Amino acid sequence: MLDINVFEAQELNRQVRVSANGEISLPLLGAVPAAGLTPRELEKSLEELLRQKYMKDPHIGVFVREMQSHAVSVVGAVRKPGTFQVSTSKSLLEILSLAEGLAEDAGEEVTILRGAALNNPPVPLSEKANDAPASPPATRSQLPETPQAADAATDKISVVSQNVVQVNLKDLLDSTDPTHNPLVYPGDIVKVSRAGIVYVMGAVQRPGGFAMKMNERISVLQALALSEGLTKTAAKSNARIIRTSERSGKRTETPIDLGKILSGKSPDPMLGPRDIVFVPDSAAKTALTRGTEVAAQTLAGILIFHW
């Protein structure tokens, strides 16, 4: 919302709002492009337009009464999901920094959904007003490069459709090539995928879920290392991988012999997202361990008594 003051003709003063296509409407001048200009630049432009036909030496003041920018929404595996107000395009890394970076369970891809607000991009003005009379708004073929055209100009990112762009996070973070860091425009939605999680349960030191980092696959032995290894009572030969089908929901169990895998006699299976490695306790080892502990406690008691 702008206050336009024409000091030599107070009847032309207006409070106007910049339209969705970046224009303001004024008496005598009609539709005037305003997007992308500072208040001082717009003042000079309006003065020049009035000087061409209507006034000898106009003086105009432009005051920004109210400003509303477009929002970019960031969702998924980031530290601070939310909606962030931006007035111009920003790089994907800048948008992710507004969301305080990636979460620990960030996956492999970022998806940019181009917003509907970009269907009518604003027409920017040059820094200096033209000598010719005000011309009608530019046609779509005359507009600056659109987000879709910018995406199509590079083969470094995956353009799924006209309004969907996918970016590999590893390329984005590791590469110095700016084409891996596309622009995000007002009205876009940025979705950061979550990594798959592998679970280790049973006779391990630290049971729990462990995120599969970007472009990373985890084997059974790596998952055991993340869980800080087996307990003394683990039944190595009776472990199994529990896998649930995403489509049917059917659960399958695959027996594995951790002893043979640890000794290199069997291959180390790779795990997928949501797989569970279950290591049961050995009843014999548990009983033996408890018996040893009881015997040790009894012996210690006898020694203390005789002392």
Alpha-carbon span 292 to 286, nearest angstrom: 10
- Say if residue 154's pLDDT is above 80: no
More confident residue, 90 or 306: 90
**Which listed CATH number (3.40.50.720, 3.10.560.10, 3.40.50.300, 3.40.50.620) goes with 70-125+142-194?**
3.10.560.10
Q: How confident is the model over 124-143, as a mean pLDDT?
A: 37
Going by CATH, does the domain composed of 197-284 fall within 3.30.565.10?
no
pLDDT tens-digit readout, 170-202: 888 888 888 888 999 888 999 998 888 899 999
Give the SS3 label for residue 8: coil
CATH number of 2-64: 3.30.1950.10
Structure confidence at residue 55 (pLDDT): 86
Q: How confident is the model over 15-40, as a mean pLDDT?
A: 86
- Say if residue 97's pLDDT is above 90: yes
- Say if residue 137's pLDDT is above 70: no
Strand intervals (E) in the chain: 2-6, 14-16, 23-26, 30-33, 60-64, 70-76, 82-86, 90-91, 106-113, 158-161, 164-168, 183-184, 189-194, 197-202, 208-211, 218-219, 239-244, 251-256, 270-271, 276-279
Q: Residue 223 belongs to what H/E stretch?
A: helix 220-226
Alpha-carbon span 279 to 208, nearest angstrom: 12
What share of residues in the chain are helix, strand, coil (percent, to 5)?
Answer: 30, 30, 40
Give the pLDDT band (50/70/90) at residue 122.
very low
Structure confidence at residue 88 (pLDDT): 79
More confident residue, 268 or 132: 268
Domain with CATH 3.10.560.10 in the chain: 70-125+142-194, 197-284
Lowest-confidence pick of 76-80, 121-125, 194-198, 243-247: 121-125
Structure confidence at residue 79 (pLDDT): 93
Q: How confident is the model over 39-68, as a mean pLDDT?
A: 87
Domain with CATH 3.30.1950.10 in the chain: 2-64
Instruction: Indicate the average pLDDT of the chain.
Output: 79
Whole-model pTM: value is 0.51
Give the pLDDT band (50/70/90) at residue 53.
confident
- Say if residue 206's pLDDT is above 90: yes
More confident residue, 199 or 215: 199
User: Percentage of the chain with pLDDT > 70?
Assistant: 75
pLDDT tens-digit readout, 234-290: 888 899 999 988 788 889 999 999 999 999 999 999 988 889 999 998 865 555 555
Give the pLDDT band (50/70/90) at residue 163.
confident
Closest to 33 measured CA to CA, from 115, 116, 127? 127
